[in-house]
């Protein structure tokens, strides 16, 4: 699996199961952007970087594209919406595949 696929699967996960703020959420239920990336690679929590390099490549690409201190801060902003999170995950996946990130 590529980093772009992780981001697309995370977007699909949020569309199917819902989005939340402030916590990762549980696998199978609403999850934040990071939690959805975990689910995309079959993890319930944040794996060790050596266990899932494709997730951390996706994490780095997403973080680099945001105007925020962290993915969590961006996800949890009071004006953030699920639609925005989903579209950002897909946009960064497209940028990765095009070699722009």
Residue 70 neighbours by CB distance under 10 Å: 11
Domains identified in the chain, total number: 1
Q: What is the pLDDT of residues 42-80, one digit of tens each?
A: 988 887 767 889 999 999 999 999 989 999 999 999 999
Q: What is the pLDDT of residues 75-87, one digit of tens each?
A: 999 999 999 999 9
- Residues 44 and 26 sit within 8 Å (Cβ to Cβ): yes
Residue 50 belongs to domain spanning: 3-98
The two three-digit tokens of residue 17, written as one number: 């199961």
What's the predicted TM-score (pTM) here? 0.93
């Amino acid at each position: 699996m590529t980093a772009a696929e992780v981001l697309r699967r995370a977007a699909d996960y949020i569309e199917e199961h819902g989005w939340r703020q402030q916590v990762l959420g549980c696998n199978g239920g609403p999850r934040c952007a990071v939690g959805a990336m975990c689910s995309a690679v079959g993890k319930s929590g944040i794996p060790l970087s050596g266990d899932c390099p494709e997730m951390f490549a996706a994490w780095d690409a997403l973080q680099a594209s945001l105007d925020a201190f962290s993915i969590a801060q961006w996800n949890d902003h009071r004006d953030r919406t699920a639609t925005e999170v989903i579209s950002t995950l897909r946009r960064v996946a497209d940028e990765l595949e095009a070699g722009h990130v």
